[in-house]
């Protein structure tokens, strides 16, 4: 691993643990045991570092979601695979990371919005249409609306600053919203399959 990769990995770890705002370039340098000057050889300011990290994370998510789409047995299985990935992701993140991202880093936040409005929407829309065709989702739902609703539901959870996550963890909150969403759009056939998958988790 080269020095630039180490900087990105260390910064991401600290940002996830403490939030972005309260981690300085000095903190990152100290954690790495290098000078701050070395970091500035690659990133002229913290904003550049956060933007690159967000770009990397979105590309990882795009790759993983495409893999889930290719390997899933059916649309509900794809939902489960994505959910498991997201729960693992959220278990290791201080929710302040997302609040800081939206409030202080508009360029990086715009990359998240692009991922949501383009890749994630297209992926969710495809899942919904396929689930309807296979009889797992109700035929009277409006896929376009439901896709946007689901993605905005997740965004409110991540960026809304309306939940404390003291009694229900960040990761558990994601799981609960998925349950409400899937049970709401499924047929009885879909409910049974979703329940069967949940028993295997």
Is there a domain that residue 178 lies in?
yes
Residues 189 and 134: their CA atoms lie apart, in Å, by 10
Residue 7 lies in a domain: no
CATH code of 164's domain: 1.10.357.10
Task: Assign 140 to helix, strand or coil.
Answer: coil
pLDDT for the residue 169: 85
**Which of 128, 145, 146, 150 has the alpha carbon at shortest distance from 137?**
128
The answer as to whether 5 is a domain residue is no
The per-residue pLDDT string of the chain (201 residues; one tens digit each, 9 = 90 and over) reads: 799 999 999 999 999 999 999 999 999 999 999 999 999 999 999 999 999 999 999 999 999 999 999 999 999 999 999 999 988 888 889 989 999 999 999 999 999 999 999 999 999 999 999 999 999 999 999 999 999 999 999 998 888 776 667 788 888 888 899 999 999 999 999 999 999 998 876
Orientation angle between helical segments 96-104 and 3-18, nearest 10 degrees: 110
- Containing domain of residue 155, as a range? 52-200
CA separation, residue 28 to residues 7, 24, 67, 82, 161 (Å)? 7, 7, 33, 31, 26
Q: Which residues pair with 186 in a beta bridge?
A: 137
Assess if residue 11 is contained within a domain.
Answer: no
pLDDT of residue 1: 74
- 57 in a domain, yes or no? yes
Is residue 118 included in any domain, yes or no?
yes
Confidence (pLDDT) at 165: 76
In 3D space, the residue among 11, 68, 88, 15 whose CA is nearest the CA of residue 42 turns out to be 11
- The reply to whether 29 falls in a domain is no
Contact (Cβ atoms closer than 8 angstroms) between residue 65 and residue 123: yes
How many folded domains does the chain comprise?
1
Cβ atoms of residues 132 and 141 within 8 Å: yes
CB burial string 57-89: b at 16+ within 10 A, e below: bbeebeeebeebbeebebbbbbbbbbbebbbeb
6 located within any domain? no
Distance CA 86, CA 95 (A): 13
């Amino acid at each position: 691993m080269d020095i630039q990769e180490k900087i990105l990995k260390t910064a991401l770890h600290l940002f996830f643990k403490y939030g972005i705002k309260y981690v300085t370039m000095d903190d990152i340098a100290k954690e790495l045991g290098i000078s701050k000057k070395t970091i500035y050889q690659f990133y002229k300011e913290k904003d550049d570092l956060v933007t690159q990290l967000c770009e990397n994370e979105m590309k990882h998510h795009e790759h993983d979601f495409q893999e889930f789409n290719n390997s899933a047995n059916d649309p509900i299985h794809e939902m489960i695979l994505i959910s498991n990935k997201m729960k693992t992701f959220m278990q290791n993140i201080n929710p302040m990371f997302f609040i800081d991202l939206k409030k202080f880093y508009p360029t990086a936040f715009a990359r998240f919005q692009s991922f949501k409005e383009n890749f994630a929407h297209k992926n969710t829309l495809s899942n919904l249409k396929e689930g309807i065709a296979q009889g797992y989702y109700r035929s009277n739902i409006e896929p376009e609306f439901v896709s946007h609703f689901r993605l905005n539901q997740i965004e409110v959870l991540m960026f809304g600053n309306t939940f404390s996550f003291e009694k229900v963890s960040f990761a558990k909150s994601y799981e609960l919203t998925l349950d409400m969403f899937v049970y709401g759009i499924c047929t009885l056939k879909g409910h049974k399959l979703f329940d069967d998958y949940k028993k295997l988790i």
